């Protein structure tokens, strides 16, 4: 997979109780995050802008400027408005109020929390932001052939075609690289994921099964003699 060089996510923790701060910091560092802290609203806002953390853990009760206010301000500033926020609160009852206010936190944790729960929520939220957009289209159409990757669905002229997992993967790889010829070796590597052991004729067999099931739409699958296969658009 094309995993981009992993960097350590940066987290800003805001809480005015030293004890709570320490617990949070310890657990997050343990889980492999880079942690900065702030113990009041003003410092939080300043650090958020300076550090641009990947996530902010914000206690609801703060002296001076309270958590809700900080949250709103963070959301208002374009520099920080995209940063996910997890609200932390001692009172479960507060949660409802906060949720009711819909002021833009992305998740909530109540004290006391288990370290596991905390880390899970953090990870979830970070993942959601990171995974985001991918480059390859998830749905493709060529004439009457439709390929819908998330639904794992292929249809020809509106009629659904049932493909096995391997056939589906083969078709996707070819369609995504349409125009370019793929050697049997390349296909084995990318569809079968690095099984150097299997015969290259295996590709042929799967191409045949794929063509059979696609019927009319098999015309998109082109054999280049002596080289491999390719997907042609017209």
Contact residues for a copy of itself (CB under 8 A)?
A: 2, 49, 52, 73, 76-79, 120, 123-124, 133, 141, 144, 146, 148, 150-153, 155, 158, 160, 164-166, 168, 179-181, 193-194, 224-227, 230
Note whether 223 binds DNA by CB under 7 A.
Answer: yes
Q: Which is nearer to a copy of itself, 61 or 202 (CB)?
A: 202
Q: What angle do CA 1, 121, 108 make, to 5 degrees?
A: 145
Please state whether beta strands 139-142 and 145-148 pair in parallel, antiparallel, or not at all (unpaired).
antiparallel
Query: Which one of residues 64, 117, 204, 216 is an interface residue with DNA (CB under 7 A)?
Result: 204
Residue 2 touches which of DNA, a copy of itself, none (Cβ within 5-8 Å per kind): a copy of itself
In whole angstroms, give the CA distance from residue 77 to residue 160: 48
In whole angstroms, give the CA distance from residue 232 to residue 177: 10
Note whether 217 binds DNA by CB under 7 A.
Answer: no
Note whether 232 binds DNA by CB under 7 A.
Answer: no
Least distance between DNA and beta carbon 226 (Å): 5
Which one, of 27, 35, 39, 30, lies nearest residue 9 by Cα?
35
Query: Which one of residues 64, 66, 77, 199 is an interface residue with DNA (CB under 7 A)?
Result: 199
Q: Which is nearer to a copy of itself, 141 or 200 (CB)?
A: 141
In whole angstroms, give the CA distance from residue 210 to residue 200: 16
Note whether 50 binds DNA by CB under 7 A.
Answer: no
Least distance between a copy of itself and beta carbon 21 (Å): 25
Residue 153 touches which of a copy of itself, DNA, none (Cβ within 5-8 Å per kind): a copy of itself
Least distance between DNA and beta carbon 178 (Å): 17
DSSP 83: S
Residue 202 touches which of a copy of itself, DNA, none (Cβ within 5-8 Å per kind): DNA
Long-range contacts of 41-50 (CB under 8 A, 24+ apart): 41/14, 41/65, 41/66, 41/67, 41/69, 41/70, 43/14, 44/12, 44/14, 44/70, 45/70, 45/73, 45/74, 47/12, 48/12, 48/74, 48/80, 48/83, 49/77, 49/79, 49/80
Q: Which is nearer to a copy of itself, 29 or 76 (CB)?
A: 76
Helix (H) or strand (E) holding 89: strand 85-89
Q: Which is nearer to a copy of itself, 10 or 230 (CB)?
A: 230
Could you tell me how many residues of this chain bind DNA (CB under 7 A)?
Answer: 26
Q: What angle do CA 132, 137, 142 make, to 5 degrees?
A: 165
């Amino acid at each position: 997979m094309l995993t981009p060089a992993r960097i350590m996510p940066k987290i800003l923790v805001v809480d005015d109780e030293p004890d709570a701060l320490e617990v949070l910091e310890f657990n997050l560092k343990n889980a492999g995050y880079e942690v900065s802290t702030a113990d009041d609203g003003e410092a939080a806002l300043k650090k958020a802008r300076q550090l641009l953390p990947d996530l902010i853990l914000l206690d609801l009760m703060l002296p001076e400027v309270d958590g809700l206010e900080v949250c709103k301000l963070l959301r208002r500033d374009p520099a920080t408005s995209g940063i996910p926020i997890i609200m932390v609160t001692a009172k479960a009852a507060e949660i409802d109020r906060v949720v009711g206010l819909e002021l833009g936190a992305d998740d909530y944790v109540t004290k006391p929390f288990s370290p596991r729960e905390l880390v899970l929520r953090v990870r979830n939220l970070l993942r959601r932001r990171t995974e985001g957009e991918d480059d390859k289209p998830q749905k493709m159409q060529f004439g009457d052939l439709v390929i819908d990757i998330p639904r794992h669905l292929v249809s020809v002229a509106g009629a659904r075609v049932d493909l096995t997992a391997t056939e589906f993967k083969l078709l996707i790889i070819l369609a995504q690289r349409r125009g370019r010829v793929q050697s049997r070796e390349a296909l084995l590597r990318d569809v079968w994921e690095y099984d150097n052991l299997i015969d290259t004729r295996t590709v042929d067999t799967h191409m045949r099964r794929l063509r059979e099931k696609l019927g009319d739409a098999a015309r998109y699958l082109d054999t280049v003699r002596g080289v491999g296969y390719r997907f042609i658009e017209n």
